[in-house]
Amino acid sequence: MSTESGTRTMIECENLVKIYKTKEIEVVALQGLDLTVEAGELMAIIGNSGSGKSTLLNMLGGLDRPSAGKLIVDGKDLLKFNDKQYMEYKRKTVGFVWQNNARNLIPYLTAEENVEIPMIFTGKKKRKERARELLEMVGLYKRRHNKLSQLSGGEQQRVAIAIALANNPVLLLADEPTGSVDTKTANTILDIFREFNRTFGVTVVIVTHDRQLSKKVDRVVAIRDGRTSSEFIRKKSYAEELKELENETEAEESHVELAVLDRAGRIQIPKDYLDTLGIKGQDRLRVEMEGRKIVLFPPDEKLGS
């Protein structure tokens, strides 16, 4: 699927809804979420606990099914998938990196053997060569014969990235990939994502609660209450920012924040703006036009009486 500008759309979510039901309770995790990700993007999805970001990641990874709406990945309509198609999708289209290394690695195998496992399931040939190539790219070629207990947390996570890329997926999903490592290791992991993105064109989507990630990616999408609330778009390239740091020049803010207007005309105002004005979630606002601007006013006590 291509857009008018000629770029290919990797992910298209439209009015996406996910409802979890039990006998006692019904939880709406996504409430009509809209999101578009172009092929080759390196982007992050942020949000507080319960915002719906992990639910979205699970659906993109084929681990959970949407309740309603539209979800297309790499031209494939996931709402129409049967179980066999989901299995094929998870093996060949998407790669997944978990925060918990136990979900990525088998402890009694070496790093090289772990990377070979996804290729065994797809019948890929020259598995050892591919595994060594990937371990070289994540800086662990010399540690390829080490088992899980002989690797640090950061090294284990780098092996997990190699595993996720073993079958050449077009989409790489990472769930809090830097959540359990120190800052230096986190920077190394993010640099690896950027290298694979730039070298192979793989689309990378990172879900995190860490807003500092925005300094390393091109676009950040914020989710609040199950909907896309705002986006942070990079003003200048990451390479330009690094050059500024090298020259010890004072860098301006790297991203600009844009509120997202959904297809129903709804917009989420940043929470800190509302808190500053003392506006609560259920308050009414005055909306007026001032030239080419739409201005929101706090509720008028006289109008509310």
CA distances from 270 to 233, 276, 278, 296, 297 (A): 16, 10, 13, 13, 15
Whether pTM exceeds 0.85: no
List beta partners, residue 18.
30
Query: Which pLDDT belongs to residue 224?
Result: 83
pLDDT in tens, 38-51: 999 999 998 888 88
Residue holding tokens 């993010």? 190
| Domain spans, the chain | 39-58+86-273, 274-305
pLDDT in tens, 158-184: 999 999 999 999 999 999 888 777 888
Q: Rounded distance, CA 192 to CA 4, Å?
A: 31
Query: Which pLDDT belongs to residue 304?
Result: 47
> pLDDT grade, residue 283 (50/70/90)?
low
Task: Give the sign of the dihedral formed by CA 105, CA 164, CA 221, CA 35.
Answer: negative
CATH 3.40.50.300 fits 39-58+86-273, yes or no: yes
